[in-house]
Amino acid sequence: MDTINKRHKLSQDLKEEARKLGFNPIGIARVPGGEKIKLRTASLQRWLNAGHQADMGWMEAPRRQNIEELLNGVKSLLAVGLSYYVDKARQPNSLSIARYAWGDDYHRVMEKRLKKIGHWLEKERPNCRWKICVDSAPLLDKAWAEEAGLGWIGKNSNLINTKKGSWIVLGHLLSTEELIPDSPAIPLCGKCQDCIKACPTKAITEPFVVNAQLCLAYHTIENRNSVLPKKITDSLGTWVAGCDICQDICPWNKKKLLSSNDPEMMPKDWVLQLTKTEALEWNDNQWKDKLRGSALKRIKPWMWRRNASAIQDIKPLKLMRSSEKAP
């Protein structure tokens, strides 16, 4: 078998290993990538220069703009997505929590599964080296997922897939192996600006640009100040952890989507029925117990109470399928 055919087979087998572990969509990109990666990198620097990262200093890590610094000799990457869309809705009069955090901590879920793929690749190519990157790693994860064909970056800065919408978490396996790349995704937002119009704080200042200093998700998860800005509290609605407003409104998410049956993505009971009273009354130990194994543990107990205290009014919510979109 010649070299090209060997690379093609390895690439297809690698994707198949990812499918076996529940990943979908899946794609491969060649490093250093094409013109779009250069444009995305330049956009990141403009975003940083504008101060849109707020207190998230880790976004300024130089390695984020140079994938070669993450793995010396990297030639390809496998990009994978995992759907966290579950067709359920929060209970009436409960607080809202971003969907990505309903189930188990996706960082651990993705890392555990990607390691299995890395070990498989190691057996196939004993001399190769690989590295896992999941969200918190200094990688332009959405840009590389776009380069690998998983979907395009929408005007709300989320990656959108035609079949999964934007309800997917991303992971990457960097490798020193030369693999056969997929075609980069083509943007399909068109003239739609629903996400921009829907944001209550106007955090999406222009297409593809989100100012964290105006974002409900940033303030409920990352802001470590004892009091939230008035502009944020005035717009919180029922959001106590994160925010899905710009995703709920997206036409690609209003399509009939397949609900995940992945056991690690299933929502914990308390997440869909947390009341303001409970959020304020639970002590630190109760919170730590609830947050064990959850991505929500990033929000400290006192922050939950701060966020809940800032929520001024919880309007009655009728039970509905999540596909009908709660307000």
> How long is the chain?
327
The SS3 of residue 29 is strand
| Structure tokens belonging to residue 280 | 């304020």
The single residue of 13, 135, 262, 269 carrying the catalytic annotation is: 135
Q: What are phi and psi of 82, to 5 degrees?
A: -135, 120
Task: For the chain, count helices (H), then strands (E).
Answer: 12, 10
Nearest partner of 95 among 295, 243, 308, 326, judged by Cα: 308
The CA distance from 132 to 110, in Å, is: 9
Please enumerate in sequence order all residues whose Cβ is within 8 A of that of 3, keeping only pairs 6 or more positions apart, or say none: none
Please enumerate in sequence order all residues whose Cβ is within 8 A of that of 83, keeping only pairs 6 or more positions apart, or say none: 24, 164, 167, 168, 258, 260, 262, 265
| Structure tokens belonging to residue 229 | 């800005």
The SS3 of residue 287 is helix
Q: Quick check: is 135 catalytic? A: yes
Q: Which residue has the tokens 């849109």?
A: 52
Phi-psi category of 41—alpha, beta or left, where left has phi over 0 and alpha has psi -120 to 50? Answer: alpha
Catalytic residues: 135
